[in-house]
Amino acid sequence: MSRLLRRLRPFGATPGATVQGSRRTEGYHTKTSTTTTDDDVWKHAPTLKGSTCFEPRPDVKNIMITGGAGFIACWVVRHLTLTYPSYNIISFDKLDYCSTLNNTNVLSSHPNFSFYQGDITTPSSVLDCMERHNVDTVLHFAAQSHVDLSFGNSYGFTQTNVYGTHVLLESAKKVGIKRFVHISTDEVYGEVKEDEDDLLESSILQPTNPYAASKAAAEMLVHSYQKSFKLPGIIVRSNNVYGPHQYPEKIIPKFSCLLRRAQPVVLHGDGSPTRRYLYASDAADAFDTILHRGILGQIYNVGSSDEISNLDLCHKLVDLIRPPASSSTGASRRWIKYTHDRPFNDRRYAVDASKLRRLGWSQKVGLEEGLRRTVDWYSKFGESWWGNITHVLTPFPGVSELGEVVPDFEHDGRDEPWENGKRG
């Protein structure tokens, strides 16, 4: 794990580059990211967004969305840009290894869309973006979010998730932001036992891994700015989100790509931990609902009703992608392998989203339909959207001292789980 020393640095693009609609503004923009991609692949993909539409808020005009070229945020960027032409949407992104301009290139001709390449840990870039675009609203998605990497690269998670949030808050205070929506995670609550009730927003925070701890710390900063400086903030804690445009380091896109390559998937531990999954369009609707109907100073859980173990999820993906093989004897041994578990792996997370549902939000896409849509998208675009992804598909990829994602050649899969999830 010594090679997991720091996060991937952006390559080939200049911070502060901005493009608005089809016109270039002050600075300049380059679409070169950390990988080589098919420049036209986005032109062949469907334009995906949520379904909600509210009366535009009179106090919202220019919305800065951090991490806008990443997975969840790009759904929100597309949804708000296309649904609310009276809003100006500024996508602020470092263009790290897991983000790509393919996620928002479809918006390049829209006059209410701008892209600003910048790092949330650089105060001058954040403040320049807010002042240049007269930002009044911030949706803060940008974060290091891959739990596996946080066990060996914890300094990077603190730098981005805690210090980066602090930079945004301080800049928001300086320019007088009217609405600051901080996107957190249900992992801040820690593990929830099978016989325990779903957790309300008032539940105590008990994070169990460096990623979750960094997100909890960021929440404390948001809370402090709300109290000390009257910052108009909202905190959102969401469970796992999946769907098209998700970088294939997470279980559903990763395993979809492996099975499409006719390679087995490799589970951490015995595959028994469960997670709840929310399809990305429903997540976009949730954030749109909170933006328009959420009450300042409040916390909202975003939760799905679909809970499934990692092992059962693997079986569903095998059934979708390798149906002839899935019905044969020994299919599990052929397509599903095991390696050792994380240093600690929460058994499950479970949040109560009734507070959000009272605002009018509801989950529309169930797991079966969501997986079908996701698998179909990755079968068409998964191998070209981010360039070469082979290194990411190994069991425990890392980040080198040079800031490059490196494959894991040390952990081969085996037919049976490790005893107690660990090496014997």
User: Which positions are annotated as active-site residues?
Assistant: 186-187, 211
Q: Rounded CA gap, 175 and 218, in Å?
A: 20
Q: First-to-last CA distance in the chain? A: 19
d(C-alpha 301, C-alpha 349), whole Å: 12
Distance CA 24, CA 277 (A): 38
Tokens 């969501």, located at residue: 370
Distant-in-sequence, close-in-space partners of 155: CB < 8 Å, separation ≥ 6: 6
Interacting residues of 195 by C-beta distance below 8 A, sequence separation 6+: none
Distance from the Cα of residue 130 to its chain's centroid:
23
**C-alpha closest to that of 83 among 57, 54, 59, 60:** 54
Q: If DSSP states are collapsed to H, E and C, what string results for 204-270?
A: CCCCCCHHHHHHHHHHHHHHHHHHHHCCCEEEEEECEEECCCCCCCCHHHHHHHHHHCCCCEEEECC
At residue 289, what is the residue type?
T
